């Protein structure tokens, strides 16, 4: 369980995180979403005791990280995949961490196998690793202490499609095992198939804390698309019922303000043949962009 209460972080005149409160429950993959500069990394760093809050509390399993005597066994985290000593091999890096966290040596080979860094990859110096391999090593570090709570900052960055699928499967399994899995991203498209719960922030403030399904329902009201060889006549009928009708072309109409059932009934009543009748809901990406539009720091390179 992760509990953030009225958390604030100021850097001089910049408020990176402002009065932020949310809870992340075990047994779920929770996406931590927000545009660039929203305050995600700062929040994760406060949860890990790497940054001191200006106000409020950031607790993991009921305690602040600094009070956890056995670090990696309580929280596993991947913050920055580049943040490893390049001269060491993946195995040596993990062995050093296992020693300092009093984790049994055998766990190193287990996590190397888990993330697919076996054989010569485990013996290679980390400086020769691709970003994708560094991400895998970072995930191995997070898993090393078999912790109940895991946090990942932009873990899909640099992964190829096979890597993305693998990470998604791993996160789901970790959540299924009853762990708390908290994953940041600035892209809704990445979270759509990764997370089942969402915490959305913008300019350091909470915008939404709900399930992905609830979040999707926030999007623009669904529109109906209808295609008919008699689209002109149908448009008149629908407009008379109060719909806002926008033609796509001679045979296709976009209908706002009436649902598909009513459009179908009216077409039937007026003997207008239909070629297509479909409801289109806004994509999650659209819902996310609408919701965070006021908190985007830069639009097309221009400061707002």
Ligand X SMILES: Nc1ncnc2c1ncn2[C@@H]1O[C@H](COP(=O)(O)OP(=O)(O)OP(=O)(O)O)[C@@H](O)[C@H]1O
The whole-angstrom separation of Cα 242 and Cα 89 is: 68
Q: Which is nearer to ligand X, 38 or 60 (CB)?
A: 38
CB 114, min distance to ligand X, A: 26
Cβ atoms of 266 and 241 closer than 8 Å: yes
CB 9, min distance to ligand X, A: 8
CB 205, min distance to ligand X, A: 11
Q: Which is nearer to ligand X, 37 or 53 (CB)?
A: 37
CB 266, min distance to ligand X, A: 47
Q: Which is nearer to ligand X, 19 or 259 (CB)?
A: 19
The whole-angstrom separation of Cα 78 and Cα 150 is: 8
CB 274, min distance to ligand X, A: 45
Phi, psi of 184 (to 5 degrees): -90, 155
The whole-angstrom separation of Cα 279 and Cα 287 is: 16
Residues binding ligand X (CB under 6 A): 11, 14, 16, 34, 36-42, 186
> What length is written for the chain?
304
Cβ atoms of 283 and 212 closer than 8 Å: no
DSSP 281: P
Cβ atoms < 10 Å from Cβ of 277: 16
Q: Which is nearer to ligand X, 43 or 228 (CB)?
A: 43
Q: Which is nearer to ligand X, 89 or 292 (CB)?
A: 292
Helices (H) and strands (E) in the chain, counts: 11, 15
Helix axes 90-100, 106-114, angle to 10 degrees: 130
Q: Which is nearer to ligand X, 40 or 68 (CB)?
A: 40
CB 32, min distance to ligand X, A: 9
CB 192, min distance to ligand X, A: 17
CB 16, min distance to ligand X, A: 3
Q: Which is nearer to ligand X, 10 or 262 (CB)?
A: 10
Cβ atoms of 253 and 231 closer than 8 Å: yes
Tracing tokens 């991400």 back to the chain, one arrives at 135
Enumerate the H helices of the chain as residue ranges.
40-47, 90-100, 106-114, 120-123, 131-144, 161-176, 188-192, 212-217, 231-240, 260-269, 284-292
Q: Which is nearer to ligand X, 30 or 42 (CB)?
A: 42
Q: What does R_g of the chain's alpha carbons equal in angstroms?
A: 24
Cβ atoms of 125 and 86 closer than 8 Å: yes
């Amino acid at each position: 369980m992760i509990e953030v209460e009225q958390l604030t972080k100021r850097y001089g005149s910049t408020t990176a995180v402002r009065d932020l409160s949310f809870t992340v429950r075990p047994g779920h993959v929770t996406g931590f979403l927000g545009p660039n500069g929203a305050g995600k990394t700062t929040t994760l760093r406060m949860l890990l005791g790497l940054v001191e809050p200006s106000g409020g509390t950031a607790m993991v399993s009921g305690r602040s990280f600094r009070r956890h005597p056995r670090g990696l066994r309580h929280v596993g985290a991947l913050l920055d995949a580049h943040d490893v000593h390049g001269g060491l091999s993946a195995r040596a890096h993990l062995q050093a961490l296992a020693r300092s966290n009093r984790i049994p040596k055998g766990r190193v080979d287990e996590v190397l196998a888990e993330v697919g860094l076996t054989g010569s990859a485990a013996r290679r110096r980390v400086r020769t690793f691709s970003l994708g391999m560094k991400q895998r090593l970072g995930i191995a570090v997070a898993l090393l202490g078999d912790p109940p709570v895991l946090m990942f900052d932009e873990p899909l960055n640099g992964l190829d499609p096979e890597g993305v699928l693998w990470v998604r499967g791993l996160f789901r399994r970790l959540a299924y095992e009853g762990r708390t899995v908290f994953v940041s991203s600035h892209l809704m498209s990445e979270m759509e198939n990764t997370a089942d719960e969402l915490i959305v922030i913008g300019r350091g403030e909470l915008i939404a804390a709900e399930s992905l399904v609830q979040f999707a329902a926030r999007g623009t009201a669904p529109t109906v698309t209808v295609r008919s060889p008699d689209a002109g006549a149908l448009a008149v009928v629908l407009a008379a019922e109060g719909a806002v009708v926008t033609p796509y072309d001679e045979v296709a109409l976009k209908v706002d303000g009436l649902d598909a059932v009513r459009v179908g009934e009216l077409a039937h009543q007026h003997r207008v043949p239909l070629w297509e009748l479909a409801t289109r809901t806004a994509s999650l990406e659209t819902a996310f962009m609408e919701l965070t539009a006021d908190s985007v720091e830069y639009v097309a390179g221009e400061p707002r």
